[in-house]
Amino acid sequence: MSAVLDHAPAETHAPEAEQQFVTLTVAGQLCGIPVLSVRDVLAHQAIARIPLAPPEIAGSLNLRGRIVTAVDLRRRLRLPQAAPGTPRMSVVTEQGGELYALLVDQVAEVMNLPASAFERNPPTLPAEWAEHSRGVYRLEGRLLVVLDVPRLLAIESFAKAGAG
């Protein structure tokens, strides 16, 4: 390990050299959310349905006395629904002063990835993913899609997705 460090001058170790992501899976796809966007990670929670809400809104949940809007990422990304009774996890994020829980299949680990390895969305990335992605990292045998949280939570696109 020290041999690797000897090749790089000390001044190249800027904070921007690595990016940290909370990794998660949605329908088998590995995704990442910038760690600074994540407020909390929750195991399966009771979710109260909200009448007349767009289909992507799974409902709301209570997090230490605050009402949190739960967004189903499978529906948001136009993916097949999970089997009934499958436990889901929530990644809580804040946008515009409001808390949102992104419902995912599983939360894995925090990864530190070199900023230099970040790539724009490849042309082969399906449109529903590319629309909500900032770019990708090519890992050993897997593609990590970096989710764009503000785009995922853009209210005006909920109506558009529900109409499609």
Residue 162 confidence (pLDDT)? 47
DSSP labels for 115-131?
GGG-BPPPTTS-HHHHT
Helix, strand, coil content of the chain in percent (nearest 5): 25, 45, 35
Residue 16 confidence (pLDDT)? 56
Of the candidates 134, 150, 145, 139, the residue with the CA atom closest to the CA atom of residue 79: 145
Are 23 and 31 in contact, with CB atoms under 8 Å apart? yes
pLDDT digits (tens, 9 = 90+) for 10-36: 454 455 588 999 999 999 999 999 999
Q: What is the average pLDDT across 46-61?
A: 92
The pTM assigned to this predicted structure is: 0.81
Instruction: Count other C-beta atoms under 10 Å from residue 119's C-beta.
Output: 11
Residue 87 confidence (pLDDT)? 86
State which amino acid sits at residue 136.
Answer: V
- pLDDT higher than threshold 60 for residue 53: yes
Q: Domain limits of the chain?
A: 20-112+149-164
pLDDT digits (tens, 9 = 90+) for 83-132: 888 889 999 999 888 999 999 999 999 999 999 999 999 998 888 889 99
Highest mean pLDDT among 42-46, 70-74, 84-88: 70-74
Residue 110 confidence (pLDDT)? 94
Name the average pLDDT for the chain: 85
The CATH topology of domain 20-112+149-164 is OB fold (Dihydrolipoamide Acetyltransferase, E2P) (2.40.50)
130 φ, ψ (degrees, to nearest 5) = -60, -35
